[in-house]
A = this chain, B = another copy of it.
Amino acid sequence: MLTVHHLNNSRSQRVLWLLEELGVPYEIVRYQRQPDMRAPKELRAIHPLGKSPVITDNGNTIAESGAILDYIIATYGNGRLIPPAGTPERLRFTYWLHYAEGSAMTPLLLKLLFTLMPKRAPALLRPLVRKVSNTALSTLVNPQIKQHMAYWEGELGKSEWFAGNEFTGADIQMSFPLEAAAARGGLEDGHPKCVAFLARIHARPAYARALEKGGPYQVGR
């Protein structure tokens, strides 16, 4: 049976959600983040980088959210949650699968990093670290996040979902940057279509079932 190696509060929540959308049976092996938020060493037994999500299925071990979604939809989807080959929607679908982690998450990760750096610095150095971090945030990181959020808002103005007028795996993949931007990027200000997108996905029964299975889910602020 397909096994999801599930780390709490992580991108593997998306994988559970996809499996619930498709009604694919699966089992969960659970891993808890360490107090420093890193993934535990046990995950390295599954994949050398010790990251989540990872799935195992039929002797294959697959990592990277985009590759996992691609595999599950190709293997178990029977044409569901993916636009037909040869359509512009299919090109957009593949684009979003890559864009979410290849581009959108980068400034959101930097935001988290530069927000945490002052908090973790020794007390004496903290004001200096905060000054350095704030400069990086205001000159480099925040403008990039704004640009990405405006881009999503524009795209969700062209069609109801990211790859067109049907809900697809691209929306599952894109949910993580949008959740992260809502948690730490100011998405709720001036991006009504993005906010409505998040409300629509949260209302899906499969999303709720995945949360029940995966446990509490909170994106880092």
Contacts and interface: CB of A to CB of B under 8 A. Distances in A.
Interface of A: 48-49, 51, 60, 62-67, 70-71, 88, 91, 94-95, 97-99, 101-103, 105-106, 109-110, 113, 117, 121, 125, 128-129, 131-133, 136, 140, 147-148, 150-151, 154
A103 to B, nearest CB: 7
A70 B23 CA distance: 28
Contact of A99 (B60, B67, B113, B132): B67
A87 to B, nearest CB: 10
B67 A98 contact: yes
Contacts of A60: 88, 91
A63 B95 contact: yes
B101 A98 contact: yes
A67 B95 contact: yes
Nearest to A71: B91
A151 B49 CA distance: 7
Contact of A117 (B48, B65, B95, B136): B136
A154 B48 contact: yes
14 contacts: A60-B91, A64-B99, A66-B66, A67-B94, A67-B95, A97-B98, A98-B98, A98-B101, A106-B106, A106-B109, A117-B136, A121-B132, A125-B132, A132-B133
A97 B64 CA distance: 10
Given A71-B91, A101-B103, A121-B132, 10 more contacts: A48-B150, A48-B154, A51-B103, A67-B95, A67-B97, A97-B98, A102-B102, A117-B136, A128-B128, A128-B132
B117 A94 contact: no
A148 to B, nearest CB: 7
Given A48-B151, A91-B71, A147-B49, A64 B129 contact: no
A132 B151 CA distance: 32
Contacts of A99: 63-64, 67
B117 A132 contact: yes
Contacts of A154: 48
